Each structure stands twice: as structure tokens, then as C-alpha cells.
Amino acid sequence: MRFVRRIGRATVIAIASAVAAVVLPMSVANASTGNVCGTTMEGWQICVNITGSGLHINSMKGWVHNKTGMRWAGLHIELKGPKGLIKNCPQFALANNLNSPNCIWSPNANEPAGSYCTILWFRLQDGTFVSEGSKCAGVHR
């Protein structure tokens, strides 16, 4: 108690507040993910990038990088969220060691918390599509 009297209550409160600010974790909500990428066993690098704050999503971008050693046609990207399909982007062809066109969704709105994913699809000769893989990022408070 003598220590508190000597330096003053206001100083003790200021020091305690500063220590709490450093020690206690901040609970800042942030929807921005930066580039989140992963490579499949087949050689596709699939990426997603989300910008925003908290549950407010400004935009979501998905793309792939071809590391397979081959040129591919009949590809397309799907963006998916907690509510299901967000967007199907047009088909494209992609040579080795290049990036696909970006598939972009710009809601500029509050969206549900959960996983937001980029999914790469390949069209077979019979017209059906098979998934070549996906990469997801979480949006939460």
C-alpha cells in the first residue's frame, strides 16, 4: 500500500491498463485472409483471398496455378460459402506454370461465418465435371 501512495493511484491504474493491453489477447474481427493456397497431389495450386473486416466481406477471389506439367482445357472455378454455391466462373484453358483468370465475388456486405472455398472443376469428355481439389479460408469474428 505504501508503494501505491508513493506513486499515486492514477499511475498504478495506468500501468495496470498498459500491462493488460499487452498481455490480454485482442479480439479484433477480421475477414481479410491474404492469399491462402494449397497444392493438390495432381499439381494444382488452388488459392483463395478474402478482403473485409469481421463478417463484412468486401470481395473474394479464387484462382489456380497449373503446376501439372501439362496444358488443360475445360476447367472452371467455383466459389462456395457456408450457404452453398456463390459463383461459377467461365471455363478456361491453362498452360503449365500459369495462373488462371481470377473468379471474383464482391458482395461488400455482412456474410455468414464459416468456410469460403475455391473449387477447381475439370470437364470430362462426356460433359460431366469432376473436382480437382479445393482450398478454403475461414471467415469469423
Dihedral angle, C-alpha 8, 12, 14, 19, nearest 10 ° = 160
Q: How many helices (H) and strands (E) does the chain have?
A: 2, 10
pLDDT on residue 30: 55
- Beta-strand runs (E) in 21-101: 34-39, 44-53, 56-66, 72-81, 84-88, 92-94
pLDDT on residue 8: 52
> What is the CA 67 to chain-centroid distance, rounded?
21
Contact assessment for residue 83 and residue 115, using Cβ atoms and an 8 Å cutoff: no
Contact assessment for residue 77 and residue 89, using Cβ atoms and an 8 Å cutoff: yes
pLDDT tens digits for the chain (141 residues)? 444 444 454 444 444 444 333 333 333 345 788 899 999 999 999 999 999 999 999 999 999 999 999 999 999 999 999 999 999 999 999 999 999 999 999 999 999 999 999 999 999 999 999 999 999 999 988
pLDDT on residue 23: 35
CA distance 94 to 96: 7
pLDDT on residue 33: 86
Which DSSP string do the residues of 43-55 spell out, in sequence order?
SEEEEEEEEEETT
Q: pTM score, two decimals?
A: 0.78
